[in-house]
């Protein structure tokens, strides 16, 4: 047992089970679909896992940005945290497909390869109605939108309004969800699928490299692009997409209350409103139970945050991104459920050690060696 306040062990203790829940969800539908259908009727473990991730991101991402106080360092850190493994995993999928080990999704051949590559590498494919090289990366599109909005709020000094933003987004999710139930970004619009991610990359680049009003304008443009993509491009519908954003800001509100920046009552109201609006975003009982239990798990872990956690549980959280990203590939490669679960954790630990950790260290060195923030 150990305490790790610097690493925030309670967050790692949440990430690990969340990643495993998603792997179990997809493995269940792959290896025992009839049995898993009965489980999934009661609780959607996949949705439980990803909503835990969204709450954790909401709690930690703005805190990380504000601790650094430098948007260039923030974007550098995010790039070296996510892109090395994402690019490696996508290349692995393509190599396995060329070797005949797995079959690519048919939708990947329906759009031009450069367009699909751009969408996936900018992590915006879900909001651009583009096929994903790795199915589970749809969540990264919402994470990217959240980063863009968080940076915009930080740059205009409105980051402290997390609770109000969470409530407004939750109410907007219901209203717009009823008016705009389906994505408005067409599945054949290659021009928009190129221009929008290029605009996002340009906004990030100018925000990171620019100064003064130019940086602020670019950050605001990026935030508006992120919000607009979620509202208009959420493939699951506007209600679900905006509720995901609201959920992340609810996580941020909890962090604000913990730091004493807002009253606990304000954070509690924000969480309750977002949860209440989110329960009905999808007309399935298993969805509502999953979302409620995700909020409950986050609340329980937060309440126990000063307690010790088993080392293996925190370690599982450290490799959770590898677990999350690699398990769909492994499902195609290993058709045996026992071998699948035996191989998944060692493989994820290896990719963390060989790809994620070195990339993160390099990102930290680049941040430390960069110019002072302005």
Residue 177 is predicted with a pLDDT of 84
**6: which 2 tokens?**
């610097």
Residue in this structure with the two tokens 């994903």, named with its chain if needed: 132
As given in the structure block, the two tokens for residue 228 are 């607009």
CB-neighbour burial class of residue 312 (10 A; exposed 0-12, middle 13-18, buried 19+): exposed
Residue 29 has a pLDDT of 95
Residue 103 burial (CB < 10 Å; 0-12/13-18/19+)?
exposed
**Between 94 and 189, where is the model more confident?**
94
Calculate the alpha carbon distances from 263 to 41, 254, 257, 260 in Å.
Answer: 38, 10, 6, 7
| pLDDT in the model for residue 139 | 98
> What's CA 309's distance to the chain center, in Å?
24
* Listed residue (84, 62, 86) closest to 74, CA to CA: 62
Contact 58, 252 (CB under 8 A): yes
pLDDT, tens digit, for every residue of 123-145? Answer: 999 999 999 999 999 999 999 99
Distance (Å, rounded) from C-alpha 105 to C-alpha 124? 18
Q: Quick check: 41 pLDDT over 70? A: yes
DSSP symbols for 305-345: TTS-B-HHHHHHHHTHHHHHHHHHHHHHH---HHHHHHHHH
Give the per-residue pLDDT at 6: 41
Once rounded to an integer, what is the mean pLDDT over residues 203-230? Answer: 97
Mean pLDDT score, 302-326: 94
pLDDT of residue 2: 29
pLDDT of residue 4: 37
**Which tops the pLDDT comparison, 1 or 358?**
358
Average pLDDT, whole number, for the chain? 93
pLDDT confidence bin for 374, thresholds 50/70/90: low
Burial code (b: 16+ CB inside 10 Å, e: under 16) for 162-187 equals bbebbbbbbebbbebbeebeebebee
Check if the beta carbon of residue 26 is closer than 8 Å to that of residue 19.
no
Question: Which pLDDT belongs to residue 373?
Answer: 52
What percent of the chain stands above pLDDT 90?
83
CB 76 within 8 A of CB 147: no
Other CB atoms within 10 A of residue 244 CB: 26
Q: Note the pLDDT tens digit of each residue in 233-259.
A: 998 889 999 999 999 999 999 999 999
Q: Which of 125-129, 132-136, 331-335, 365-369 has the lowest mean pLDDT?
A: 365-369
Could you count the other beta carbons within 10 Å of the beta carbon of residue 194? 16
**Predicted TM-score of the model (pTM):** 0.94
The single-letter DSSP state of residue 128 is G
Please write the tens of the pLDDT for every residue from 76-93.
999 999 999 999 999 999
pLDDT in tens, 269-287: 999 999 999 999 998 889 9
Res 333: pLDDT: 92
What are the helix (H) ranges across the chain? 9-31, 33-40, 45-68, 71-98, 113-121, 138-155, 162-179, 190-209, 212-233, 238-258, 264-278, 285-303, 311-318, 320-333, 337-351, 357-369
Percent above pLDDT 70 for the chain = 95
């Amino acid at each position: 047992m150990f305490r790790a306040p610097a690493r925030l062990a309670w967050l790692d203790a949440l990430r690990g089970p969340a990643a495993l829940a998603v792997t179990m969800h997809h493995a269940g539908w792959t290896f025992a679909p009839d049995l898993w259908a009965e489980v999934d009727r009661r609780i959607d473990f996949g949705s439980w896992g990803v909503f835990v991730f969204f709450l954790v991101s909401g709690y930690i991402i703005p805190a990380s940005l504000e601790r650094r106080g430098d948007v260039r360092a923030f974007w550098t850190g995010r790039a070296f945290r996510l892109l090395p493994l994402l690019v490696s995993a996508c290349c692995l999928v393509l190599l396995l497909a060329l070797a005949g080990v797995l079959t690519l999704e048919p939708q990947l051949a329906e759009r031009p390869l450069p367009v699909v590559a751009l969408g996936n590498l900018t992590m915006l494919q879900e909001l651009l109605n583009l096929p994903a090289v790795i199915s589970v990366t749809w969540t990264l599109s919402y994470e990217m939108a959240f980063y863009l909005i968080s940076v915009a709020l930080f740059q205009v000094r409105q980051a402290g309004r997390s609770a109000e933003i969470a409530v407004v987004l939750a109410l907007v999710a219901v209203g717009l969800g009823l008016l705009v139930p389906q994505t408005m970004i067409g599945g054949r619009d290659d021009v928009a699928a190129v221009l929008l991610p290029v605009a996002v990359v340009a906004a990030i680049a100018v925000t990171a490299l620019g100064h003064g009003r130019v940086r602020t304008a670019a950050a605001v443009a990026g935030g508006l692009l992120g919000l607009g993509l979620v509202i208009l491009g959420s493939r699951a519908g506007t209600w679900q997409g905006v509720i995901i954003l609201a959920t992340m800001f609810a996580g941020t509100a909890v962090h604000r209350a913990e730091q004493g920046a807002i009253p606990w009552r304000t954070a509690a109201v924000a969480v309750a409103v977002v949860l209440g609006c989110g329960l009905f975003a999808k007309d399935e009982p298993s969805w509502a139970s999953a979302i409620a239990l995700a909020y409950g798990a986050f609340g329980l872990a937060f309440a126990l945050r000063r307690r010790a956690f088993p080392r293996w549980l925190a370690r599982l959280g450290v490799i959770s991104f590898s677990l999350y990203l690699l398990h769909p590939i492994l499902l195609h490669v290993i058709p045996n459920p026992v071998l699948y679960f035996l191989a998944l954790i060692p493989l994820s630990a290896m990719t963390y050690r060989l790809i994620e950790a070195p990339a993160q260290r390099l990102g930290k060195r680049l941040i430390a060696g960069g110019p002072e923030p302005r």
